[in-house]
Amino acid sequence: IYSVSQLKVGDLVFFFNDLHHVALYAGNNTVIHAPRTGTVVRYESMDTIGGPFMFGVRV
């Protein structure tokens, strides 16, 4: 389990207390994700996800 400062490109990052949102870390505080069902996958700052970052994992 990793904190924001320990993340590396390719890590899975989990948001919200119930972990209902997962994204792929792209570096520089940016993730690749689909904000909601039916939307286009895009790069976005982790600061604009809308919920708290919980942790990252490396697989």
The pLDDT confidence band at residue 6, using thresholds 50, 70 and 90, is: very high
Q: How far is CA 29 from CA 37, 38, 42, in A?
A: 23, 24, 14
CATH class of 4-57: alpha beta
CA separation for the pair 37, 7 (Å, rounded) = 25
What's the predicted TM-score (pTM) here? Answer: 0.92
Distance from chain centroid for Cα 13: 4
The pLDDT confidence band at residue 47, using thresholds 50, 70 and 90, is: very high
> Based on C-alpha coordinates, what's the Rg of the chain?
10
Structure tokens at 29: 């505080």
For the chain, the structural domain boundaries read 4-57
